Amino acid sequence: MELAFGFSLMAFLAIFLVFFGVDRMLSARTTVIGSRLDRYASRSTTMEPEEVAATTSAGGFNRLNKMIASRGGSQKIATELARADLKLTPSEYLLLNIATTLGGFLIVLLLTRTNLIGALIGGLVGFYVPRFYVRRLQRGRLNAFNNQLGDTLILLSNSLRSGYALLQSMETVSKELPPPMSTEFARVVREIGLGLGLEEALAHLLARIPSEDLDMAITTINIQHEVGGNLAEILDTIAHTIRERVRIKGQIRALTASQRMSGTVVAILPIALGAFMMMFNPGYIGRMFAESCGIMMLIGGAVTVTTGYFAIQKITEIEV
């Protein structure tokens, strides 16, 4: 009975993925123009949620986008995907999240021979996998951007001293520096070329890259744009401050690498050991799920391990 239920779920998932792919292929032609415009201007950051739902997709995605927008989640999901530099719409991300949840549930259900509790845990893991992946991409992209920001401000300052305008200096940055700095500043230049103001284009940049150092630099540029002043000299001062901060942060990460790695290993070890035993000896580990005391032990262990992991990460995260 349980095995038939598992195969039914697998068949449902397969049919769901087939229709998802067919709908995506049929709606691709109607979204070419919108996707091209999104490469050059951040329309989602200036639109209302209802407008986002009407313009980001077609076909089957349109209804899902409207439902997301009605609950106010479309803008947030679009911002998170933009920060991770993922070319997905909110509806595509949610459907992918549903697929990973069902996939985790079915995989664990088959490996544990119809253990419903273990399958629910697998579904929970599949639910959070896309979120962890997006967060990891965001952290990596933000760190890479912050590491390049000092050199970027120096390049902007030197370009301004050589007689370039600010927009020409930003275009020089987009050509000379590697990603993600080059791609972000190229997008700023294109947005200004499409008619957006300087402050609005920089605000879109800050929305995609939530960096405190970038916020300080953008505030300086906006103030200079309003009242005037020697922008090149101010950028040199900010660049020196950012470079020193990056250097100190690198030293701190080197000194705390051992502690952070220890916390990660301690947190992953129980999960890996439980998964290993569930795959090769499910009858032995299944007794823990069969009784209430075993389930309470698992919940208590998960809470304590998670608390310890985040405590170690918080201790080793030193603000500069």
Q: Clarify whether residues 73 and 104 are in a common domain.
A: yes
Over residues 247-267, the pLDDT tens digits come to 888 888 888 888 889 888 988
What's the whole-number mean pLDDT along residues 230-251? 88
Q: Clarify whether residues 247 and 267 are in a common domain.
A: no
Q: Is residue 126 part of a domain?
A: no
Q: Is residue 265 part of a domain?
A: yes
Q: Is residue 314 part of a domain?
A: yes
Residues of the domain holding 280? 256-320
DSSP summary character for residue 56: S
Q: Clarify whether residues 101 and 7 are in a common domain.
A: yes
Q: Clarify whether residues 30 and 18 are in a common domain.
A: yes
Q: Clarify whether residues 159 and 222 are in a common domain.
A: yes
Q: Is residue 70 part of a domain?
A: yes
What's the whole-number mean pLDDT along residues 47-55? 42
Q: Can you tell me the distance from the alpha carbon of 149 to that of 157, in angstroms, rounded to the nearest whole number? A: 12
Q: Clarify whether residues 229 and 288 are in a common domain.
A: no
Decide if 115 contacts 109 (C-beta within 8 A).
Answer: yes
Q: Clarify whether residues 227 and 311 are in a common domain.
A: no
Q: Can you tell me the distance from the alpha carbon of 290 to that of 297, in angstroms, rounded to the nearest whole number? A: 12
Of 234, 254, 274, the one marking the end of a domain is 254
In this model, does residue 26 exceed pLDDT 50?
no
As a whole number, the mean pLDDT across the chain is 79
What's the whole-number mean pLDDT along residues 146-152? 91
Q: Clarify whether residues 77 and 11 are in a common domain.
A: yes
The pLDDT value given to residue 63: 62
Q: Can you tell me the distance from the alpha carbon of 187 to that of 270, in angstroms, rounded to the nearest whole number? A: 45
Over residues 177-213, the pLDDT tens digits come to 999 999 999 999 999 999 889 999 999 999 999 998 8
Q: Clarify whether residues 260 and 298 are in a common domain.
A: yes
Domain count, the chain: 3
Q: Is residue 128 part of a domain?
A: no
DSSP summary character for residue 197: -
Which tokens belong to 48?
């209302």
The proportion of the chain whose per-residue pLDDT surpasses 90, expressed as a percent, equals: 26
Q: Is the peptide bond before 180 cis (omega within 30 degrees of 0)?
A: yes
Read off the pLDDT band of 13 (50, 70, 90): low
Q: Is residue 127 part of a domain?
A: no
Q: Is residue 150 part of a domain?
A: yes
Q: Is residue 97 part of a domain?
A: yes
In this model, does residue 55 exceed pLDDT 70?
no
In this model, does residue 52 exceed pLDDT 50?
no
What's the Cα-to-Cα distance from 15 to each of 21, 99, 104, 114, 195, rounded to whole Å? Answer: 10, 11, 17, 22, 45
The pLDDT value given to residue 17: 54
Task: Report the phi/psi class of residue 300: left, alpha or beta, with left for phi > 0 and alpha for psi in -120 to 50.
Answer: alpha
Read off the pLDDT band of 64 (50, 70, 90): low
The amino acid occupying position 28 is A
* Residue scoring higher pLDDT (61 or 293): 293
Q: Clarify whether residues 313 and 233 are in a common domain.
A: no
Q: Clarify whether residues 155 and 241 are in a common domain.
A: yes
Q: Clarify whether residues 244 and 283 are in a common domain.
A: no
DSSP summary character for residue 30: G
